[in-house]
Structure 1
Amino acid sequence: MQFASRLDNVETSAIRELFKLLGTPGIISFAGGFPDSAMFDVEGLKEASAKALAEEPGGALQYGATEGYEPLRTQLSAFMKTKGVEVDPSGLIVTTGSQQALDLLGKTLISPGDKVIVEGPTFLATIQCFRLYGAQLISAPVDADGVRTDELEKLIAEHKPKFVYLIPTFGNPSGAMLSLERRRKVLEMAVRYQALIVEDDPYGDLYFDQAPPPSIMSLTQDVPGSRALVAHCGSLSKVLSPGLRIGWMIGPAELLAKATMCKQFSDAHTSTFAQATAAQYLKSGRMPATLAHVREVYAERARAMGEALRRELGDAITFTQPGGGLFFWARLTGAGGKVADANVLAKRAIEKLVAFVPGAPFFAEKPDVATLRLSFATANVEKIREGIARLGTAL
C-alpha cells in the first residue's frame, strides 16, 4: 500500500514496543506512565455515572456539542478557578484526553517545515504528533528547575517558532518543575517575541510536600499582553481516570474556534457519557479527598524509589528527587566501569525481570543515551525496593 508521506518521519512509540516484553511472569515494571488503578475512586465514579443517567439521560447518551458538554465546561471552569485561572466555560473546549488537544494544536497551527520548540527531553507522543504534521522540532535544554530560559530565549529569537511547547510542572519524562522566576520569564519573552506558549499540565495536581508555583496560564494576569499568547492543556487522566478520556484546552478564541472545527472532523465530540460522569464527579466535591490520597501514596513511593536508587546504584546514577508527578529522570554516569548506555542497561534489566524506559526517544534532537525514565506510580514500596535492587544487579 502507498501511505501518506507524512508518516515517513514518524516511528512507533518506543514505550509501546517495550510493553510487548512486559508480559513475562514476575517482571517488575517502572516503564509505564499510568496512574495506579487501585487508587481510582470507583465508588465515586459509580455514583457520578448513576446521577448522570438519572438526572439528564438525554444529555449523557445523545450526540453533543463539539466544544463540550456544558455542565462539564462549567465544572472545569470552577476547577481551574481553584488553581488561579479565571476562565468562562465558553473559554475552554473539552477534548478526548489532553492528547487530543496536542493533536488539534498540530492540525491547526503546524504547516510542513514550521519550527516548534520543545523541551529536551519532552513527552514522546508530542514529538510523534508534531512531526506527523511536518514540524521541525528544536530542543530547549532542561535542568532541575525546568526549561533553561536563557537558552530558550536564544532559540525563540533565532528560529521564530510557530509555538513553544512546555510541560512546566513535574514534566514527562524530566520530572522537573519550572521555577516561578522562569515562568514569569517565559511569559515576558512570549510578549517580547509574540510567541505562542503551549502549557501542558497533566501532573500539576500531583504534588507531594509543597504545592508548585502557579501555572503559566494563571500568571498571565501579572504580565500584560500575555494571556492571548498562552494555550493551556489540562486532563483528568492522571488524577481521576484515564479511561474517561477527559481533557480540555484553554486558549485564544480564534485558536479554540479552529480546534473545534478540526475536532468535528475527528470525533464529532468527546463521549457525552464520560463528560456527564466527570461533571457529576467534580460537582460532588470528592476530588479534593481523592487528590489528597493519591498525593500521599505517590509521595511515599517516590521517597522509596529515591532511597533505593541511592542505595543500590550509588554513584553509577544521578537524579533529582521529584517533588510530584509520576517519574524519576536519571542519568547513568558509568562510574566504576558500570554501564553508561541506558539502552544496554534496559536489555540487561529485562533479563533480571525489571523494566524501565531508556531516555533517548524523549529527545527531539541530540538524544542522550545515558538517560532513563522510571515510574513509581504503579508499584508498591516493596516492589519498588525489589525492582531497584534487581536493576542494581544489571549494572
Structure 2
Amino acid sequence: MTVTENVSAPAPAAALPPLAARARSIGGSPVRDILAVTARPEVINFAGGLPAPELFDAEGIAAAYRDVLAEAPARALQYSTTEGVPALRAALAARTTVRGLDTGPDELLVTTGSQQALSLLATALIEPGDTVLVENPCYLAALQAFGFAGARVVAVPGDEDGIDPAALEELVVRERPKLLYTVPTFSNPTGRTLPVDRRAAVARIAGRCGVWIVEDDPYGELRFEGERVPWIASYDGAGDRTVLLGSFSKVMAPGLRLGWLRAPAALRRACAVAKQAADLHTPTVNQLAAARYLADRDLDAHVARVAAVYGARRDAMLAGLADALPAGSAWTRPEGGMFLWARLPEHYDTTALLPGVVRHDVAYVPGAPFHAGEPDRATLRLCFVTQTPDEIAEGLRRLGEGLREVRR
C-alpha cells in the first residue's frame, strides 16, 4: 500500500515591526564614517577628534588601576551608586571650585563620558517637538542626541566670535526653546571662544526669558595662549539654569569614558533616574582609578605639557594653511582646544571634494553636517593635535595637491 503524505509549504514569515521613527531619521556620525574609510596607516588624518595617544600618561593611569585593584578589588569590581563614587565626585567638585565655580560633590553626577550627559539631558528635558537652540555650526554628536529625542533644532546666528546675543534673544522670545546648547570655549568644530561680554549677555537672556543653558566644556583646560574665560554658569542669573558638562577624555584619556554634569538638584535627580535606565552607573574601577590618579599625580601639570605640544601643532597647521588652501580661503586661529575651521571660496563643496582628496592619503571633515540649518558646503574642520608638526606639514602638502587636482 502506498501512503501519500500531504506536506504543505511553510507559511511566509510575517514582516517584523519597523524601527522607531527616530532611529530611521537620524543618521550616523560622518566623522566616524570618514575614520572608517581612512583607517589606512599611510593616511594623515585631520578628520578625527582624537587626542594625541603618545601624550597619554599611560604609566600614571596604569599605576592608579594597579593600586586600586590591589587595595580594594572587591569594591573596584562591584556595582556602585548611580551618582558616582564619592571620592571622584569630591575631587571633581574641588577642581571645579578652584576654577571659579563653587561646587559641592552632591551637585555632580558622574557619567560615562560627557556624551552620555547629553543623552541624559535630552531624555530628562526634551519632549518630541520641543525646540532646542544650538550655535552654528554645532558639535555633531549633540545634534544626534537632540535629534534622537525628537527635538526641533534651530541654529542661532553668529559671527567669528560665536553666538550673537541679540539674535539669541529674538529666537528665545519667538521659539520658546527648552534649552540652548553651546561649547563656548574652543568650540567643536570652529575652535572659537565666546567673549566675556557675550557670555554675560547669554546668562542675562536665560534668566530673563526662562531657558536652560547646557554649557559643554571638554576642551577648556587645553589653553595655550590668552587668558582663561569664566564659565557661563558662573555669571549672575545663570546659576539655577545652567548645566555644566566636563570630561576627562581630552585631558586624561578618552578610553576611560569619564564625564560629569553639574546641574540644579531637580534636573540632576531626573538625569540620575535616566542613567539608572541606561547603564545603572559608570564603571566603578574607572572612577576609582581616576580618583586615585587625581590624588597621586598632578593632572594640571600633565595638561600644561599636553597644551604646550598642542600649541606647537596648531602653529604648524597655521603656518601651512595659506599654501594648502585655495586663494580666498579663511580660517580660525584658536587659542586652545583641538580644532580649527576653514572656509574655502563660495564655489567649493568640501563634501564632494573629499573622495578625491583622500586619494592623496589625507583627510578632513566636511563642514556641512555640523549645521543644524542650511549648510555651508564650502567649510571644513581640521584637527591639529594628533600629528607631529612634520606630519602636519606633509598632510597640508597633500591636502593642497589634492584640492588642486580635484578642482581641475
Distance 2:30 2:62 in 1: 35
Amino acid at match of 1:200: D
- Unmatched tracts of structure 2, length 5 or more: 1-15, 404-408
Q: CA deviation at 1:197?
A: 0.5
Comparing 171-180 with 203-212, greater Cα deviation is found at: 203-212
**Cα distance in structure 2, aligned partners of 1:101 and 1:312:** 38
1:355 match: 363
Partner of 2:216: 200
User: What's the counterpart of residue 278 of structure 1?
Assistant: 290
Matched, 1:17 2:33: yes
Question: Post-superposition shift, 1:311?
Answer: 3.0
User: After superposition, where does 1:69-80 map in structure 2 within 5 Å?
Assistant: 69-80=85-96
Match of 2:259 in 1: 247
Contact 1:44–1:286, Cα closer than 8 Å, also in 2: no
Within the alignment, does 1:213 sit opposite 2:229 as a pair? yes
Query: Of 277, 280, 287, which residue of structure 1 is paired with 2:299?
Result: 287
2:152 to 136, 140, 147: 136
How many residues in Structure 1 have an aligned counterpart in Structure 2?
387
Instruction: Give the Cα separation in 1 of the matches to 2:26 and 2:320.
Output: 36
1:120–1:139: 8 Å Cα contact kept in structure 2?
A: yes
Residues 167-199 of structure 1 show CA distances to partners (whole Å, capped at 9, x for unaligned) of: 000011011100011110010111110111000
Pick one of 12, 17, 22 that aligns with 1:6.
22
User: Measured at CA, do residues 278 and 13 of structure 1 come closer, stay the same or move farther in structure 2, by a change above 3 Å?
Assistant: same
Match of 1:376 among 367, 380, 384: 384
70-79 or 56-65, which moves further after superposition? 56-65
SS at match of 2:259: strand
Equivalent residue for 2:249, pick from 237, 251, 262: 237
Q: Distance in 1 between matches of 2:286 and 2:359?
A: 40
Q: Find the counterpart in structure 1 of residue 161 from structure 2.
A: 145
What amino acid does structure 2 have at the position aligned with 1:9?
Answer: S
Q: What do residues 90-112 of structure 1 show as CA deviations (whole Å, max 9, x unaligned)?
A: 01000000000000011111111
Aligned pairs for 1:221-232 (under 5 A) are 223=236, 225-232=237-244
- Report the 3-state secondary structure (helix = DSSP H, G, I; strand = E; otherwise coil) of the residue aligned with 1:107: helix
Give the alignment's TM-score, normalised by structure 1.
0.95
Preserved CA contact (<8 Å) 1:66 1:270: yes
Give, in whole Å, the separation in 1 of the partners of 2:311 and 2:158: 23
Q: Does the Cα contact within 8 Å between 1:75 and 1:279 map onto a contact in 2?
A: yes
Alignment correspondent of 1:391? 399
Match of 1:346 in 2: 354
The Cα of 1:166 is off from its aligned counterpart by 0.5
Deviation at 1:143, TM superposition (A): 2.5
After superposition, what is the alpha-carbon deviation per residue over 1:19-48, rounded to whole angstroms, capped at 9, x for unaligned?
A: 221133521100000101110001111221
- Partners of 2:43 and 2:328 lie apart in 1 by 23
Question: Which of 120, 126, 129 is residue 104 of structure 1 equivalent to?
Answer: 120
Identity across the alignment (%)? 43
- Asked whether the equivalents of residues 64 and 292 of structure 2 are also in contact (C-alpha less than 8 Å), the reply is yes
d(CA) in 1 for partners of 2:369 and 2:86?
Answer: 39
Equivalents in 1 of 2:174, 2:216: separation in Å? 24
Distance 2:59 2:384 in 1: 25
Kindly report which structure 2 residues correspond to 1:252-263, keeping only aligned pairs within 5 A, or say none: 252-263=264-275
- Which moved further from structure 2: 282-291 or 198-207? 282-291
Look up the equivalent residue of 2:196 and give its one-letter code.
L
What secondary structure sits across from 2:157 in the alignment? strand
Matched, 1:68 2:84: yes
The answer on whether the counterparts of 1:177 and 1:212 sit within 8 Å (CA) in structure 2 is no
Secondary structure at the aligned position of 2:25 is classed as: coil
- TM-score, normalised on structure 2? 0.92
CA contact (8 A) 1:201 1:233 kept: yes
Is the Cα contact below 8 Å between 2:326 and 2:344 reproduced in 1?
no
Mean Cα deviation higher: 7-16 or 183-192: 7-16
Q: Contact between 1:121 and 1:141, CA under 8 Å: does it hold in 2?
A: no
Q: Mean alpha-carbon deviation: is it higher for 15-24 or for 166-175?
A: 15-24
Deviations 1:322-347 (A, max 9, x none): 1111001110015xxxx611113312
